[in-house]
Amino acid sequence: MNIFTLPDVGEGLTEADIANWLVKVGDTVAVNQVIAEIETAKSLVEIPSPWAGEVKELFAEVGDTVNVGDNFIAIEVTATADGEESPQAPLVGSGPKDDTPGRRRRRGRPDRPAPTQVAEPEPEAEPEPAPAQKSDLFTKVLAKPPVRKLAKDHGLDLAAITPTGQHGEVTRTDVQSVLDGAKPAARAPQAGAVGESETIKVTGVRKATAQAVTDSYTSAPHISVFRQVDATRTIEYLETLKKHPRFENVKVSPLLVLAMAVAQAALQTPQANSTWNGDTYTLHHYVNLGLAAATERGLIVPNIKNAHELNQRQMAEAIQELTQRARDGKTQPTELADGTITITNIGVLGLDAGTPILNPGESGIIAFGAIKQQPWVVDGQLEPRWITTLTGSFDHRIVDGAEAGAFLADVAAILEEPALLIS
């Protein structure tokens, strides 16, 4: 009988939570068949079997935290035709992947510890708030990405499946019950009933986020500055880009201009794009731009490597790809490592401004407020203009008021006149 221990599926991860077992004792498994889903501090990962054979023991239950190297599953390996046990196969679908096919490889950078995620939401921006509608929190069906894929592959509507998960999510068992024609299990008591209290176990991304923001806020003295910006020219500029053939099939939003502006400004004021080391600090003359992304599992900050090298089309594609992978639960550990500065879009939440907490290991984060039409004085006359508020939070050990002001001024200048991007 062979014992498979929990592997390190990321970059130096030490533990993971069992999200779902996809096999049980007595099942027969094939090489690279997915046997479990685990939730790390960085992503939801499917674990494939390294052997073909019969499952003899599961060493943990759903919800348990397992350390890397701990016993995970026992399998009685099937003998081959010559009587030998089948060898352990390379695991498929675990661990970091190379750059996305079709994207040019970025040049290497000095290694440093991977930053932990901050709790700042970051979907993509739109100039006007959407018409009032019922919140997604009440309309969206909860399910993990592998469960969504299983339902989609079999043409099932998740909304029509009775969820039995602890927090009202549709589980793989729920989907499989429908496929098997079985009567669905009773739905678990739902959280948040009026007049009651509930206790939630802190795991996965939420656990990592809690630790990260606590460490960041208590170790780095934050300073926050604000600047109102007339983004009217940005809105006009984006309308032009949307009609251009070069930007066909790619989402164009104010976030694109902000990302380009921050990438340029970070090179002009490297103090905002640096790392505190204790008795030294490192100025990064390249930009790995973090995008705080809201996902079903929590808030993570994947980053665009060498964002300062990208043209506008490449930046738009990178934003679209990175945020979509985050929402699909497919973010790779390499995409979460080595960020140098972060942007977070709080405008999509209807917020004008906020004071974001730094991503650990970084000295700057920019919050992008809602873009709204407001009366604005132009050449002594009141005009309706598209106005937004930028908030910058910085590590005051490195960034003083002068650097913070200069950095925001450079970002604001591009939002006020995006033609500067090609000057």
Which amino acid does the sequence have at 105? R
**Residue 302 confidence (pLDDT) above 50:** yes
The SS3 call for residue 158 is helix
Where is average pLDDT lowest: 2-16, 81-95, 146-160, 170-184? 81-95
Predicted pLDDT of residue 415: 96
- Catalytic status, residue 167: no
d(CA 286, CA 284): 5
d(CA 233, CA 280): 41
Where is average pLDDT lowest: 6-20, 133-147, 161-175, 215-229? 133-147
Those residues with Cβ within 8 angstroms of residue 62's Cβ, 6 or more apart along the chain or in another chain: 18, 19, 20, 21
**Residue 135 confidence (pLDDT) above 50:** no
Q: What is the pTM of this model?
A: 0.64
DSSP annotation string for 226-283: EEEEE-HHHHHHHHHHHHSGGGTTS---HHHHHHHHHHHHHHHSGGGGEEE-SS-EEE
Mean of pLDDT values over 13-32: 88
**Residue 117 confidence (pLDDT) above 70:** no
Write out pLDDT tens, residues 323-365.
Answer: 888 888 788 878 888 999 999 999 988 899 999 999 999 999 9
Mean of pLDDT values over 261-287: 96
Write out pLDDT tens, residues 40-76.
Answer: 766 677 889 999 999 999 999 988 888 889 999 999 9
Mean of pLDDT values over 278-282: 94
Mean of pLDDT values over 394-420: 95
Residue 206's H or E segment, with its range, is helix 204-219
Band of pLDDT at residue 80, cut at 50, 70 and 90: low
Predicted pLDDT of residue 421: 86
In the set 284, 285, 308, 396, the catalytic residue is 396
Share of the chain above pLDDT 90, in %: 49
Largest CA distance in the chain: 90
